[in-house]
């Protein structure tokens, strides 16, 4: 049997082993068609069944209200930075909560369409917390937030309520915990953290909000292109949607989102406990009340040891524990599919490394 790495990559990231095995088993012959899913027409009845079932699973697991559309769009979260602004920047300005790199990238795209301003920012303390006070200007079209910050390791413990439409980038924590979809006007999420391989974005949007979208846009930048054609205007990323379908079934078999959320909290705590009990050898980046359960970011007190720690971890089978290239340090991404066994093994490795270098 192949030895699996302890995969802590921030994205693309770990997928459930049984999902990979299912895909492997039917890769050459999907649904007794004599074809692989990657060879199949997106207009075929077999794919149509898969497409509809994937939407139904999302609606069930996330308790998505009926007045919300579910779309599958190519281009990753980065295209959504542009697409959300292009469609909904229909007043003088739009608000962004700056909690790190990804929200700043989203705001940069919005500046093409008008005044995109910070309603709040955590930049004053290197994004180690989530702002709780917000300042809005008149004629604000929407507010954009990033629910979980992969680079800095922070997440919203609870979501604030706003008097303007709310757009949320949920790429790195969708289906990792229960959220009230009705609190958001549009949610988008790249699949490659918790739902499948890179290549498809899940968009969940209130129909009434979609009705306010700008229409004087290129065809593939209009949400109406996707709503009016059930995300089938052009060839969708069929294999990615297929893998999302498999992963949603896996989440359902675990007991649903609430069980997954409980497991995620327990997994993250195993590693946070090592950081907190290390007498300062390991230093967590995020304030405790805003710690992400998906991305655990930390430094070693002795900066000279960080490269050695990452190298030794990799040699021991722990993949992806280096911090993002923009900030350095260390990071362990504990997405839904990362097993408790991997988190416990990393915790033991961290304790052993500390013991070796504290003599």
Catalytic residues: 102, 169, 193
Please confirm whether the linkage preceding 252 is cis (ω < 30° from 0). no
Closest CA to 93 of 43, 144, 129: 144
For residue 283, how many other CB atoms are within 10 A of its CB?
14
For residue 121, how many other CB atoms are within 10 A of its CB?
16
3-state helix, strand, coil in the chain (%, to 5): 40, 20, 40
296-299 long-range contacts, CB within 8 A, separation 24+: 296/153, 296/268, 296/271, 296/272, 296/331, 296/332, 296/333, 296/334, 297/151, 297/152, 297/153, 297/323, 297/327, 297/329, 297/330, 297/331, 298/153, 298/329, 298/330, 298/331, 299/329, 299/330
SS3 of 92, please?
A: coil
Both tokens assigned to 88: 């909904």
Tokens 């060839």 belong to residue: 235
Closest CA to 127 of 343, 350, 342, 329: 329
For residue 24, how many other CB atoms are within 10 A of its CB?
9
| Helical (H) or strand (E) element with 107 | helix 101-110
Both tokens assigned to 339: 């097993």
Angstrom distance (rounded) from CA 19 to CA 230: 26
Tokens 């340090």 belong to residue: 329
The residues facing 299 across adjacent strands are 283
104-107 long-range contacts, CB within 8 A, separation 24+: 105/78, 105/81, 106/80, 106/81, 106/144, 106/146, 106/169, 107/144
Tokens 């009434």 belong to residue: 208
């Amino acid at each position: 049997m192949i030895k699996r790495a302890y995969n802590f990559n921030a994205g693309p990231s770990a997928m459930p082993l049984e999902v990979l095995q299912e895909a492997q088993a039917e890769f050459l012959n999907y649904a007794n068609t004599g074809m692989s899913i990657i060879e199949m027409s997106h207009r075929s009845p077999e794919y149509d069944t898969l497409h509809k079932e994937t939407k139904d699973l999302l609606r069930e697991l996330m308790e998505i209200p009926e007045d919300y559309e579910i779309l599958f769009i190519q281009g990753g979260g980065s295209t959504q930075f542009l697409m959300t602004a292009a469609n909904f920047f229909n007043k003088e300005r739009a608000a962004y909560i700056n909690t790190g790199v990804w929200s700043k990238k989203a705001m940069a795209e919005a500046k093409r369409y008008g005044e995109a301003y910070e309603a709040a920012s955590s930049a004053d303390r290197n994004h180690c917390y989530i702002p709780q006070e917000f300042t809005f200007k008149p004629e604000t079209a929407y507010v954009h937030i990033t629910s979980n910050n992969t680079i800095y390791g922070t997440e919203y413990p609870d979501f604030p309520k706003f008097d303007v439409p709310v757009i949320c980038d949920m790429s790195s924590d969708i289906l990792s915990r229960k959220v009230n979809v009705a609190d958001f006007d549009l949610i988008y999420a790249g699949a490659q953290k918790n739902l499948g391989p890179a290549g498809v974005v899940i968009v969940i949007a209130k129909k009434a909000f979609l009705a306010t979208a700008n229409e004087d846009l290129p065809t593939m930048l209009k949400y109406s292109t996707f709503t009016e054609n059930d995300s089938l205007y052009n060839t969708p990323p069929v294999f990615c949607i297929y893998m999302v379908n498999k992963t949603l079934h896996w989440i359902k078999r675990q007991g649903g989102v609430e069980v997954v959320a409980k497991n995620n909290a327990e997994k993250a705590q195993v590693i946070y406990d090592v950081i907190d009990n290390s007498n300062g050898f390991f230093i967590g980046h995020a304030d405790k009340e805003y710690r992400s359960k998906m991305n655990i970011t930390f430094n070693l007190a002795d900066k000279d040891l960080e490269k050695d720690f990452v190298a030794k971890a990799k040699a021991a089978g722990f993949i992806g524990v280096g911090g993002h290239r923009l900030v350095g340090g260390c990071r362990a991404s504990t997405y839904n599919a990362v097993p408790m066994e991997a988190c416990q093994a990393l915790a033991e490795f961290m304790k052993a490394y500390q013991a070796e270098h504290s003599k």
